[in-house]
Amino acid sequence: MPITRRQSKLFQKLLTEQQSSSSDNSIMTTNNDNNLEDIEDIINPIKKEEEELLTESIIKDEVVEDNVVLIDYFSQTFQQRFQQEYQAIKNFRLENPNAPVDTMGCSSLADPLTDDKTKRFQSLIALMLSSQTKDEITAKAVNKLKEANGCKVEEVNKLTEEEIQKLIYPVCFYKRKSTYIKKVCKILIEKYDGDIPRDVKSLQSLPGVGPKMAYLCMTSAWNETVGIGVDTHVHRISNRLKWVNPTTTPEKTRLELEKYVPKEEWNTINYVLVGFGQTVCKPVGPKCETCVVKDTCHYHKDLMSDKIEKKKSKKRTSLGKTKKEEELEEETVDIKEEEEEEIIEKKTKKSTTKKKKSTTTKNKRKSFP
């Protein structure tokens, strides 16, 4: 049976007690010596195992908890890998500012010439419309609202839901979003004097405003970064690169990232990864071959191994088919050979019978007077 940690502690306690008693007593019996050796034989493998686990956790960037392999965010190898990959993506984005977010992102859609209250309201509206919608469509919808009535809270509040729908179409879930916008305008006028809330909790209490919008709104509207805005791009890339332990929602990804990403990068990481997700690390058909982090990317490695495995399986199946074909060919060859042999036999039989007939006729002629 394997020895438990509790048992090992008891053995260690017993060992220390016996060692202390040995220092007091000048004479040690052979029995005591043997007992000490037996206990040491039990403890040493446990100590060795603990040391190996410790060195492995330092060498690797993973730890085991409750039989589940987890990333150790503060291990040297993980920190080096994260810094290397993040910096490479950051440099790529600086050199290639051609993503939709660079020119049509929510933070750039507020009118710079209007008053601060309206700017903040426009930032919030842009974020609400951006959910499940491409930046190009979001930008068009915000511009339509600006053209219609300046996209001011009081003016938008005067519009009916049907009128809002016509202006924001074709954003995703435009009907539902028009209802949310109408409700938000009413709340902002009644509770916040036409302004937007200045904390994440209050922003999230507004209809149609989720955690990602709230954190990004704090940055773009109030210039206060209190958390990482995690959208579908940040969520996807963080999991593909194994920057987080496997997460199922953007909110869970945010909590994981905030454990180790420096606070000064909380605002930048969203912008960097969104643009990278729009141009390179796409949800479907990612451009892995031109990716700057493909050499260390876990997703790329898994993708390549899957491709190799598929090729191998295809080869196996094709080899299987040729073997069957060969067997069939061999069978047909055998049948043909047998048929040919039968034909030859028949021919030889016919020829022999003919010869016999011819000899008999000749003999008859000779014998005839």
User: Which residues are catalytically annotated?
Assistant: 212
Do the Cβ atoms of 101 and 275 come closer than 8 Å? yes
Q: Which residues contact 279 (CB under 8 A, 6 or more apart)?
A: 96, 98, 99, 287
**Residue 219 CA, distance from chain mean position:** 27
- Angle between helical axes of 211-222 and 116-130 (0-180°, round to 10): 150
- C-alpha span between 159 and 177 (Å, rounded): 14
- 7, with CB counted inside 10 A (0-12, 13-18, 19+), is middle
- 21, with CB counted inside 10 A (0-12, 13-18, 19+), is exposed
Q: Which residues contact 288 (CB under 8 A, 6 or more apart)?
A: 294, 297, 299, 300, 303
Q: Residue 130: CA atoms inside 13 Å, Cβ hemisphere, count?
A: 28
- C-alpha span between 257 and 369 (Å, rounded): 124
